[in-house]
Amino acid sequence: MPDATRDATRGAAVRTAASTTATTVIDPTPWLCAPRTGLCPVVVADTAVYRDDSHLSEAYAEALTPVLAPSLDRLMGAR
């Protein structure tokens, strides 16, 4: 996983900002890293996962859409 995600200072700032603005933050780690090993691949099935040190590639974000949609729908109150 990119260093930006593991940066404790940045994580604390995100949590503080989310709390202050009543925003929900979704931790993407379960969708990006192997649960048992904690390894976070940079390529999955010939698709680059990251476009830089802290952003998903557009192709991988698209590939995650069906997986993330149920969680996002629940957050947004969709039925």
Q: What range does the domain containing 11 cover?
A: 3-76
CA–CA separation, 19 and 46 (whole Å):
37
Burial (CB < 10 A; 0-12, 13-18, 19+), residue 34, is: exposed
Say what the pLDDT of residue 1 is. Answer: 53
Contact 54, 4 (CB under 8 A): yes
Q: How far apart are CA 30 and CA 14, in angstroms?
A: 18
Q: pTM for the full model?
A: 0.65
How many domains is the chain built from?
A: 1
pLDDT digits (tens, 9 = 90+) for 20-71: 998 888 878 888 888 888 888 999 999 999 998 878 999 999 999 998 888 8
pLDDT at position 46 is 94
16, two tokens: 């503080």
| Three-class DSSP category at 59 | helix
Residue 79 clears pLDDT 80, i.e. is over it: no
Per-residue pLDDT at 78:
60
